């Protein structure tokens, strides 16, 4: 599903250049649930942003579902993001003036889905994350866990190939975190490919594979026995 | 533009951001409102001033005399100059091809007019039949003084509407009745009205020949009034009237032995010259109002651009989210512009309608002498709305474009 070869990325900080990713080789098969771990500054978020086409690599190749991702202009990047990817952010990033239902329906709007169908689909995804009763509520009327579940529903709405989650539990307490991870595991059980960036070992343990990043290089890549979040709830 | 989905998205944004929408709209609506009201008042002043001019024929020239101020050919200064019938006859003969209407005027001082028990003091003047047109008078009843009256020294008078109301009250038909002026009976043959209003209607006219004979005026005249044949345009008419008034002045100075550089003995009130001054003033006022209006529009545009900048800044994160979810840059530009154009257009029309209503309903209530019936050219108002909307769109485009180019990663970065 994801194929990365010799990926480099550096940022210019004034006159200095900061080499963040120093040759990443990495691939993810369909249906995997991978966590990317590393201390802060290890380059894990940068890797996720490049995977999410929110940022571009300096060197190396990136293939997503058989499509080479390179030399993208904004328009094509936007189209690919809409088609291939669903994002889950640490700070949820819901649009504050839209209610839960409309937030979930937004990716469908950019897919050109008509309004009636959009609302139906969005509602079914809200049901899936257990928030059908909260459809008419604005984000600031929801708890952190609820917000993240709306965000997950939104990420799923466009039926993407890959879900990218950047510290999805970073702003949540442990019980809510496990709830969210449980949801992510359930989605993965349905066969969707998911990448989770985290620095919490217990969250990482709930995935099927842990990739450890340090100073811009992969130092460890192991399959693990998945801990079901359900057990911790 | 006709994308229904886009419209729904815009309406939702507007509905959820009422304050922002209101503020954008307010600056546009007030700009248009102020501009249209200003233009309306400008037009009202124009109307008011041109009404002031309807009092007399627009191109009337009025010759009157005073006292000499300079010693000339052995004659002392301080001499009162008295015009005679000969002056008038000579002028009309010499310029008969140029003149349209002409009349000399003999004024009867202390013109007490009696009818039965009623009496009043009015301006009583002996005039030629042409004077009706020089004064721009219209007849309500009967006729004006005519040539036959003049030839036969008829004792007839034409009275103003106010005189009729004063003396005859409302009941009686004044035509054929006799009024006494300084004890002499005169038959009323007509009642006139004058666009100049009451002041001009409290006058009494009789044939100048009668006036001179009855009131011992011999062949003295007080004034002469002329209009010239109409010219094709204002400039030509003004030039001709200036030429004519210069010629008359010189001719009178010569006949009455007045120093050529003595400006106080003979005066000519050239209404075209006055009109020109008024028209210049009008142009200045118009210019001023347009200046103020354009400045208002500029202020409105600056206001709209400012608000657009703030809106885009405020929505940076939202734009980042939308882009992460698959919004193309053009759709972001479209969204921001679509909203701003929609809001400015609606607000512009609200301002336009409010100001037009104000002019329509409050305008006619304004009873000042120099403002009458303020109104505004609807096309001009409509054009300004479009200009403002266009300017708002252009002003909104650049921030929107910049916002669309921000990388989603930058927009989404936690502050």
pLDDT in tens, B193-223: 988 778 888 999 999 999 999 888 788 999 9
Q: Which residue has the tokens 């669903």?
A: A86
User: From CA B263, how far away is CA B228, in angstroms rounded?
Assistant: 23
DSSP B260-295: TT--SSEEEEEHHHHHHHHHHHHHHHHHHHHHHHHH
Spatial neighbors of A125 by CB under 8 A, at least 6 apart, are A104, A153, A154, A156, A157
The share of chain A scoring above pLDDT 70, in percent, equals 99
- Tens of pLDDT along A182-194? 999 999 999 999 9
CA–CA min distance B327, chain A (Å): 6
Spatial neighbors of B149 by CB under 8 A, at least 6 apart, are B129, B156, B189, B207, B210
Spatial neighbors of B398 by CB under 8 A, at least 6 apart, are none
Chain mean position to CA A93: 12
User: From CA B227, how far away is CA B98, in angstroms rounded?
Assistant: 9
User: From CA B325, how far away is CA B113, in angstroms rounded?
Assistant: 95
> Out of B17, B326, B409, whose CB is closest to A158?
B326
Q: Which sign, positive or negative, has the C-alpha torsion B358, B362, B363, B369? A: negative
User: From CA A155, how far away is CA B181, in angstroms rounded?
Assistant: 104
User: From CA B224, how far away is CA B127, in angstroms rounded?
Assistant: 10
Phi and psi (nearest 5°) for A93? 55, 50
Higher pLDDT, A62 or B383: A62
> What are the C-alpha distances in Å from A70 to residues A30, A59, B77, B151?
21, 10, 104, 109
pTM for the full predicted model: 0.66
Q: Which 8-state DSSP code applies to residue A61? A: E
Partner-chain contact B328 A158, CB within 8 Å: no
Partner-chain contact B412 A89, CB within 8 Å: yes
CB-based contact, B20 to chain A, within 8 Å: no
Instruction: State the ipTM, two decimals.
Output: 0.90
Per-residue pLDDT of chain B (415 residues; tens, 9 = 90+): 456 777 877 887 788 778 878 887 888 888 888 888 888 888 888 777 776 666 555 678 899 999 998 888 888 888 899 999 999 999 999 998 888 899 999 988 878 899 888 888 999 999 999 999 888 888 988 999 999 999 999 999 999 988 988 888 866 788 988 999 988 999 999 999 988 778 888 999 999 999 999 888 788 999 999 988 877 777 788 888 889 999 999 999 989 989 888 888 899 988 888 778 877 887 888 788 888 877 877 887 787 778 778 878 888 888 888 888 888 888 888 888 888 888 888 888 898 889 888 888 887 777 666 677 777 777 877 887 788 788 778 877 887 888 788 888 777 765 5
User: From CA A155, how far away is CA B95, in angstroms rounded?
Assistant: 97
Q: Work out the average pLDDT over A64-81.
A: 86
Give the pair of three-digit tokens for residue A50. Answer: 């490049």
CA–CA min distance B292, chain A (Å): 39
CA–CA min distance A231, chain B (Å): 33
pLDDT score, position B362: 80
Find the helix or strand (DSSP H, E) in which A175 lies: helix A174-189
A33 forms bridges with which residues in the sheet? A194
């Amino acid at each position: 599903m994801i194929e990365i070869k010799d990926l480099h990325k550096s940022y210019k900080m004034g006159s200095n250049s900061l080499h963040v990713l120093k040759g990443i080789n990495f691939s993810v098969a369909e249906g995997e649930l991978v966590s990317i771990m590393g201390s802060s500054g290890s380059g894990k978020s940068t890797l996720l942003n490049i995977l999410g086409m929110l940022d571009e690599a300096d060197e190396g190749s990136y293939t997503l579902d058989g499509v080479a991702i390179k030399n993208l202009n904004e328009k094509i990047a936007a189209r690919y993001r809409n088609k291939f990817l669903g994002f889950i952010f640490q700070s949820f990033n819901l649009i504050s003036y839209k209610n839960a239902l409309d937030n979930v329906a937004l990716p469908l709007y950019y897919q050109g889905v008509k309004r009636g169908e959009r609302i139906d689909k969005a509602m079914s995804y809200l049901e899936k994350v257990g928030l059908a009763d909260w459809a008419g509520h604005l984000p600031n009327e929801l708890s952190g866990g609820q917000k993240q579940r709306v965000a997950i529903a939104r990420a799923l709405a466009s039926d993407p190939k890959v879900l990218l989650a950047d510290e999805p539990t970073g702003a949540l307490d442990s019980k809510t975190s496990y709830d969210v991870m449980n949801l992510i595991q359930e989605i993965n059980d349905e066969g969707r490919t998911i990448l989770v960036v985290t620095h919490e070992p217990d969250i990482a343990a709930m995935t099927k594979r842990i990739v450890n990043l340090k100073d811009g290089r992969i130092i460890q890549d192991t399959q693990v026995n998945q801990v079901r979040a359900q057990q911790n709830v | 533009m006709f994308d229904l989905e886009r419209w729904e998205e815009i309406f939702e944004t507007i509905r959820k951001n009422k304050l922002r929408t209101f503020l954008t709209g307010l600056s546009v609506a007030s700009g248009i409102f102020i501009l249209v009201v200003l233009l309306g008042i400008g037009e009202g002043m124009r109307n008011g001033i041109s009404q002031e001019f309807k009092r007399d024929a627009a191109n009337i020239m009025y010759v009157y005399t005073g006292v000499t101020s300079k010693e000339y050919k052995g004659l002392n200064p301080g001499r009162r100059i008295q015009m005679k019938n000969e002056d008038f006859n000579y002028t009309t003969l010499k310029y008969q091809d140029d003149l349209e209407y002409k009349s000399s005027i003999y004024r009867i001082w202390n013109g007490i007019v009696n009818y039965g028990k009623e009496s009043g003091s009015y301006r009583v003047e002996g005039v030629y039949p042409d004077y009706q047109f020089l004064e721009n008078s219209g007849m309500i009843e009967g006729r004006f003084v005519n040539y036959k009256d003049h030839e036969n020294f008829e004792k007839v008078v034409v009275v103003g509407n106010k005189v009729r109301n004063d003396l005859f009250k409302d009941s009686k038909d004044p035509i054929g009745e006799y009024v006494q002026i300084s004890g002499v009976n005169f038959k009323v043959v007509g009642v006139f009205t004058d666009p100049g209003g009451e002041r001009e209607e409290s006058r009494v006219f009789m044939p100048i020949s009668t006036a001179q004979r009855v009131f011992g005026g011999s062949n003295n005249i007080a004034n002469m009034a002329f209009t010239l044949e109409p010219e094709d345009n204002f400039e030509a008419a003004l030039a001709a009237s200036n030429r004519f008034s210069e010629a008359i002045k010189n001719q009178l100075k010569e006949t009455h032995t007045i120093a050529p550089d003595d400006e106080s003995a003979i005066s000519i009130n050239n209404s075209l010259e006055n009109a020109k001054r008024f028209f210049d003033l009008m142009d200045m006022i118009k210019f001023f109002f347009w200046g103020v209006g354009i400045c208002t529009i500029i202020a409105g545009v600056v206001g709209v651009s400012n608000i657009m900048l703030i809106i885009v800044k405020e929505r940076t994160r939202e734009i980042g989210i939308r882009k992460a979810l698959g919004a193309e840059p053009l759709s972001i530009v479209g969204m921001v512009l679509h909203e701003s154009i929609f809001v400015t257009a609606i607000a512009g029309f609200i301002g336009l309608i409010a100001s037009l209503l104000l002019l329509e309903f409050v305008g006619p209530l304004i009873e000042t002498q120099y403002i009458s019936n303020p109104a505004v050219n609807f096309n001009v108002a409509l054009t300004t709305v479009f200009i403002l909307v266009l300017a708002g769109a252009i002003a909104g485009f650049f921030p929107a474009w910049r916002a669309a180019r921000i990388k989603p990663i930058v927009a989404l970065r936690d502050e």
